[in-house]
Chains A and B, each alone.
Chain A
Amino acid sequence: MKKVFERPKSLRQAEFTYCPGCIHSIIHRMVAETMDELDITNRTIGVCPVGCAVFMYEYMNCDMIEAAHGRAPAVATGVKRVLPDKFVWAYQGDGDLASIGTAEIIHAAARGEKISVVFINNTTYGMTGGQMAPTTLVGQRGSTCPAGRDPEHTGYPIRVSEMLATLDAPSYIARVTPTSPAGLVKTKKAIKRAFENQLAGKAFSMVEVLSNCPTHWRMTPIESFKWIDENMTPVFPLGVFVDR
């Protein structure tokens, strides 16, 4: 019988601890598939964040470093600078990348570090209980903005991809979401592109994935996908911002 579906070799035989329907799981699989397809697993060092993806080092079948909150781009820089022939990716949430780690991501991008970053934007701090993030939409509720984000009080969501696209060094910056079959294909392609660029010796690449948090959004996974399409994409437009 022909095998039509199997675990990528770059994923370990471990159970994800993500909530059902969480997009983290989908993107983990895509990262692993991409490593398989490019045959880079054995020379990859992955850097995982503090956030729901903190246990990524248990799931990925490559060498892994668990970084401090927000510092994955600096850690990845340290690795890539001393091992320029290895493949280095970092994976970060929006609290990690767009709040506490803004300096690290901006400067890694500005220096043109030859690393690939996967950025999971789910508009909230999933791991710590659904608090407001810098990406939380105006009016969106969180456990630290129970009445909804009030721009008078806490301003507006940060569009990281657009911000980094103003820099000269990055080779690829794209925003995608896997909420539809077409979106899944595009998301996978974007990740692959980001990885291929590094393999081609090109500078910094980042894929921002509009993601969900059904648990703290208090929605079913299907509702959460719809919410991304209806509420997130108008604020965070999908597209390729840099490709060179």
Chain B
Amino acid sequence: MTNRKLMKGNEAICYGAIAGRCDAFFGYPITPQNEIPELMSTLMPDNGHVCLQAESEVSAINMVYGAASTGKRAMTSSSSPGISLKQEGISYIAAAELPCVIVNVQRGGPGLGNTQAGQADYFQTVKGGGHGDYKVITLAPWSVQECYDFMPLAFDLADEYRGPVAILMDAIIGQMLEAVELHDNFEIVDRPKPWAVTGMRERDHNVVNSLWIDVNVMEEVNLRLQARYREAEKNEVRYAEYKVEDADMVFVAYGCSARVCRTVVDLAREEGIKLGLFRPVSLYPFPSNRIAQITKSGCSFMAVEMSCGQMVEDVRLAVNGASEVLFYGRTGGVVPTPTEILDYVKQVYDIAANPTS
């Protein structure tokens, strides 16, 4: 059955959450994600689920912690400063091995910043963000369709890897209108959650906890988390490629930047400049192996981000000196135009494409 609708990325997140059988949403207003708590406040109760506006992002993430402890599918959404506030809670959720989904519609920063699109929360999201050794599986949609599609996937990954999963967007992806197919081609796996606190009945008591006084036990917990991350790194790498095969230079970009870069690829090819686009879809786990493979074609890379250069560090690690890695970024809420990127490419292209000449 097809059900095609025109909607914003933020709205598609809500329909995706319903499709992913989200049981509870806890949020707090912040632009540019307000459409999410607003739409959820009717969609969730209409579907018999819980939606509650918390008194702060701190409370919202701790409500998620409580709801997720019961084995229910719980989520929150926010934008950059609010996500900063959630970090302690996310660390607790990761340590207590609870599944949940966190949507970040990034804005310009640091500080209060502005409500325009940014991509400067990459480090915070994919490198941990809060205290301690943990990771957050991170998906970066570049279309309204992907906002919808990634929600059921995110809940599934959260259940499978028993940890928080982030959807990393930005103001443009969240607020642009596109057609989206509200399909139901999802496989939703009902995993048993014997660890959930639901009242003991016939079993021994369950405890959701992140305190381990014995350092050796705490180390074991850490190693268990790390083993799961290694599994995710094996199984959950996602990416997309556009005209990479014969490219002399390959953009690496995600989300909104990737859309701009796709336009640049087409413009450049009209002028005979062979560019390609590599789009990491999972930012953690990062598609490092595929990037390393691509280096064998002899191409160079240019990371394009709406930040001063964060993901580019992961590109450099993946390339590991095998090719040149350039960077182009705008920040503070500025979105680069295709022509400015193309101009920059032209400045550096000859050198990058023929590093020996």
A68 engages B59 (CB within 8 Å): no
Residue among B62, B69, B200 making CB contact with A62, cutoff 8 Å: B200
- In the complex, how many angstroms separate the beta carbon of B207 from the nearest chain A beta carbon? 5
Which residues on the A side are within 8 Å of B62 (C-beta)? 67-68, 71, 74-75, 78, 104
CB within 8 Å for A104 and B55 given contacts A62-B205, A65-B197: yes
Q: Which of under 10, 10 to 19, 20 to 34, or 35 or more describes the interface residues of A?
A: 35 or more
Task: Provide the bound-state CA to CA distance between A54 and B197, in Å.
Answer: 17
Q: Which B residue sits closest to A65, measured CB to CB?
A: B208
Binds B, one of A41-49, A142-150, A167-175, A180-188: A41-49
B74 engages A78 (CB within 8 Å): yes
Interface residues of A in 13-29 (CB under 8 A from B): none
- In the complex, how many angstroms separate the beta carbon of A155 from the nearest chain B beta carbon? 23
Interface residues of B in 33-71 (CB under 8 A from A): 50, 52, 54-56, 58-60, 62-70
Type the 1/0 row for A218-239, where 1 means its CB is closer than 8 Å to any CB of B. 0000000000000000000000
Task: Provide the bound-state CA to CA distance between A107 and B52, in Å.
Answer: 12
Instruction: Name which of B52, B72, B200, B201 has the most chain A CB atoms within 10 A of its CB.
Output: B200
B197 engages A107 (CB within 8 Å): no
- In the complex, how many angstroms separate the beta carbon of A164 from the nearest chain B beta carbon? 14
Residue among B50, B89, B207 making CB contact with A81, cutoff 8 Å: B50
CB within 8 Å for A44 and B199 given contacts A64-B205, A75-B65, A81-B63: yes
B199 engages A81 (CB within 8 Å): no
B63 engages A42 (CB within 8 Å): no
CB within 8 Å for A47 and B200 given contacts A71-B59, A82-B23: no
Instruction: Name which of B67, B92, B96 has the most chain A CB atoms within 10 A of its CB.
Output: B67
A41 engages B200 (CB within 8 Å): yes
B70 engages A83 (CB within 8 Å): yes
Residue among B23, B59, B206 making CB contact with A107, cutoff 8 Å: B59
Which residues on the A side are within 8 Å of B64 (C-beta)? 78
- In the complex, how many angstroms separate the beta carbon of B68 from the nearest chain A beta carbon? 8
Which residues on the B side are within 8 Å of A55 (C-beta)? 211
B198 engages A63 (CB within 8 Å): yes
Q: Which A residue sits closest to B211, measured CB to CB?
A: A66
A60 engages B66 (CB within 8 Å): no
Residue among A43, A66, A103 making CB contact with B199, cutoff 8 Å: A43
Task: Provide the bound-state CA to CA distance between A42 and B210, in Å.
Answer: 23
B155 interfacial contact with A, CB 8 Å: no
B67 engages A65 (CB within 8 Å): no
Chain A to chain B contacts (Cβ below 8 Å), 25 pairs: A45-B70, A45-B198, A57-B209, A60-B205, A62-B205, A63-B200, A64-B197, A64-B209, A65-B209, A66-B210, A68-B89, A75-B62, A75-B65, A78-B24, A78-B66, A78-B67, A78-B68, A81-B24, A81-B50, A82-B74, A86-B198, A87-B199, A104-B59, A107-B54, A107-B59
B residues adjacent to A (C-beta < 8 A): 23-24, 26, 50, 52, 54-56, 58-60, 62-70, 72, 74, 88-89, 92, 96, 197-201, 205-211
Additional A-B contact list (10), CB under 8 Å, known A77-B52, A78-B26, A81-B24:
A42-B200, A45-B69, A65-B65, A65-B208, A68-B65, A68-B88, A74-B62, A78-B65, A107-B54, A107-B59
